[in-house]
Amino acid sequence: MPMKRTCAKSLPAAMYHYVNNWAGAITVSPARFEEHCRALAEKGLRGVGLREAEEFLLHGEALPAGSLLITFDDGFFDNCLYALPILHKYGHRGVVFAVAARIAEDAARVSLKDLKAGKAPAFPEADLPLVQGPDGPVRRDIFLNSGELRAMDADGTLTPASHGRGHYGVFLGPEYSGPFLPLSLSRTFFHTDLGVVFGLPDFRVGPGLLHRAFVPDPDFVEAVRSSVPQDFVEMTRFARNAAGLADLTRLYRRFAGKTGRFETAEEGRARMWRELAGGKADLETTLGREVRSLCWPWGKYGAEAEGLAREAGFKVFFTTSEGPNPPGRPAAVHRFKAGDKSASWLLSRVRLYSCPLAGRLYAACRI
């Protein structure tokens, strides 16, 4: 008599970002990631593909017990270079949430066939997303390009989905702590859709799909642009010039009370639509297929953003909060941060969130 097949009652979802040899807060080394994937396989656990996960979350389509979802945020090139061959080696699949504005139209830099055969080319730049230059730290993030995303989509080991158009933040108000200088560029996704304007007040920035935006006055922005160099190196040197900074302070005083305004409700809706629907359309153009899943940029969103995302055609929504994922629950898919932690820790989280009740109680206790 055949054994009865057991089905997953919840789909644990692990969240990664970088997988490379750079020591960063959201980085997992290839060696650690392989330790994770090997431990999962040895315990009979399997990372499922995006389509399997979507069908489970949308329609309650059965998944074998021991299923989990392995996710990667932002769309870094190292996800393909390092993570994909490890996933393939241990029989796992996963999803990479790509930021559409960071996708360059170009041919793939690596062959997936070679990667899966263990023939990864030397690509030292992938291990240096932040380097120390002579004038301060400089971001050198490398993102997946269109050729790589199309190849990955066809391969199925690591399937692309949306992380918005630009992962943009918004300025939260007119308050600031000083001028925006090159040293402020240490974060990957820090700027707003205005772009980087050196010398502009360093306004506080928050999630663009949660907050109303403070919009700097165009005349003020132009006055700042024309007053200070916009080149990274030149601005770094300018920032060491007390006289130049004093001139910038006088410029701020000249525009006191006139540095900007808050966007209207209509402007806010249009901005969020560009981020959500625009990012979806851009990625669909790259892949040549429908994109159903969205990972919220910054992991934060409001009711209006959620409505717009549904209007844009998204069906499954991934968050950054921990918890279980029972079948038929696509509205707020929980994930836990895998991080550079031991395989035993990872296995404990997978076990926890494989049980809907235990996972829900644990997540509630953390709030």
Backbone angles phi, psi at 267, to 5 degrees: -65, -40
Percent of the chain residues topping a pLDDT of 90? 85
- Report pLDDT digits (tens) over 293-307: 999 999 999 999 999
List CB contacts of 5: < 8 A, sequence separation 6 or more. Answer: 64
User: Cβ distance 212 to 192 under 8 Å?
Assistant: no
Please, which pLDDT band fits residue 232 given cuts at 50, 70 and 90? confident
Please, which pLDDT band fits residue 1 given cuts at 50, 70 and 90? very low
Backbone angles phi, psi at 212, to 5 degrees: -75, 140
Please, what is the Cα angle at 17 between 341 and 277, to 5 degrees? 145
pLDDT of res. 131: 83
Buried b (16+ CB within 10 A) or exposed e, 141-164: bbbbbbbbbbbbbebebbbbbbbb
List CB contacts of 284: < 8 A, sequence separation 6 or more. Answer: 290, 291
Asked whether residue 331 carries a pLDDT value surpassing 70, the answer given is: yes
Signed CA dihedral, 99, 35, 113, 49: sign only: negative
Asked whether residue 271 carries a pLDDT value surpassing 70, the answer given is: yes
pLDDT of res. 189: 82
Give the closest residue to 171 by CA, choosing from 125, 230, 214, 224.
214
Q: Is 274 exposed, middle or buried (0-12, 13-18, 19+ CB in 10 A)?
A: middle
Instruction: List the beta bridge partners of residue 159.
Output: 95
User: What rounded mean pLDDT belongs to the chain?
Assistant: 93
Asked whether residue 2 carries a pLDDT value surpassing 60, the answer given is: no
Buried b (16+ CB within 10 A) or exposed e, 14-52: bbbbbbbeeeeeebbbbebbbbbbebbeeeebbbbbbeb
Asked whether residue 206 carries a pLDDT value surpassing 60, the answer given is: yes
Number of CB atoms found within 10 A of residue 264's CB: 11
Backbone angles phi, psi at 280, to 5 degrees: -65, -50
Q: How far apart are CA 107 and CA 121, in angstroms?
A: 16
- Report pLDDT digits (tens) over 9-24: 999 999 999 999 999 8
Asked whether residue 148 carries a pLDDT value surpassing 60, the answer given is: yes
Number of CB atoms found within 10 A of residue 259's CB: 21
Provide the CA 295 distance to its chain's centre, in angstroms.
Answer: 8
Pair of tokens at residue 61: 């389509």
Taken as a whole, the chain contains a residue count of 367
- Mean pLDDT of the region 198-213: 96
3-state SS assignment for residue 140: coil
pLDDT of res. 202: 94
pLDDT of res. 191: 80
Instruction: List the beta bridge partners of residue 72.
Output: 16, 96
pLDDT of res. 106: 97
Q: How far apart are CA 283 and CA 265, in angstroms?
A: 27
Helix axes 218-227, 242-254, angle to 10 degrees: 160
pLDDT of res. 204: 95
CATH topology assigned to domain 13-166+271-366 = TIM Barrel (3.20.20)
- Mean pLDDT of the region 128-148: 86
- Mean pLDDT of the region 166-185: 90
- Mean pLDDT of the region 54-71: 97
Signed CA dihedral, 347, 348, 353, 355: sign only: positive
pLDDT of res. 135: 66
Q: What do you get for the CA distance between the two ends of the chain, in Å? A: 47
- Residue 55 vs residues 58, 68, 185, 292, 364: alpha-carbon distances, Å: 5, 13, 39, 11, 26
pLDDT of res. 130: 86
Place of tokens 């790589």: 148
Q: How far apart are CA 37 and CA 17, in angstroms?
A: 15
- Mean pLDDT of the region 48-70: 98
Torsion angle of the four alpha carbons 192, 105, 316, 91, in this order, in degrees rounded to the nearest 10: -130
pLDDT of res. 3: 33
Place of tokens 């097949």: 5
Domain boundaries, given as residue ranges, for the chain: 13-166+271-366, 175-265
